[in-house]
Amino acid sequence: MGRIAFKMKLKPGYADEYQKRHDELWPELKKLLKKSGVSDYSIFLDTETNTLFAVQFQAGMASSQDLGANPVVQKWWKFMADIMETNPDNSPVSIPLKEVFYLK
């Protein structure tokens, strides 16, 4: 099982809305993530910079970042595009992070 981390950017003033949308995460998206091997997925917000920091465990080589062709993921991206920095296809601008320390 591997771990990955990445950062994304929330538009200013949307922290509460971002939290609300994730509190109400669609069941079909949860199922897809779990089926693809993603588990223990956390997203943190730096309120000073509106930077979102995500970390997840994954079985195999796939992560949530590899599910972009799935219609459920594309629908989620479109749903979130108004409150996040996105690419032209509505995917969130996501920057992989290099692990420099891990205490197990």
- Evaluate whether residue 20 is within a structural domain: yes
User: Could you tell me if 57 and 37 are in contact, meaning their C-beta atoms sit under 8 angstroms apart?
Assistant: no
∠ Cα 74 24 92 (to 5°):
35
Q: Quick one: which of 17, 6, 16, 4 has its CA closest to 81?
A: 17
What is residue 61's predicted lDDT score, i.e. its pLDDT? Answer: 60
How far the first Cα of the chain sits from its last, in Å, is 14
Q: Which candidate in 22, 31, 34, 78 is catalytic?
A: 22
Q: What is the pTM of this model?
A: 0.89
CATH code: domain of residue 77: 3.30.70.100
> What value does the mean pLDDT take over residues 5-18?
98
Residue 25 known to be catalytic: no
> What value does the mean pLDDT take over residues 83-94?
96
| Number of domains composing the chain | 1
- Evaluate whether residue 7 is within a structural domain: yes
pLDDT tens track for 24-70: 999 999 999 998 889 899 999 999 999 999 999 988 665 666 788 89
Question: H-type helices in 24-102, by residue range?
Answer: 27-35, 71-80
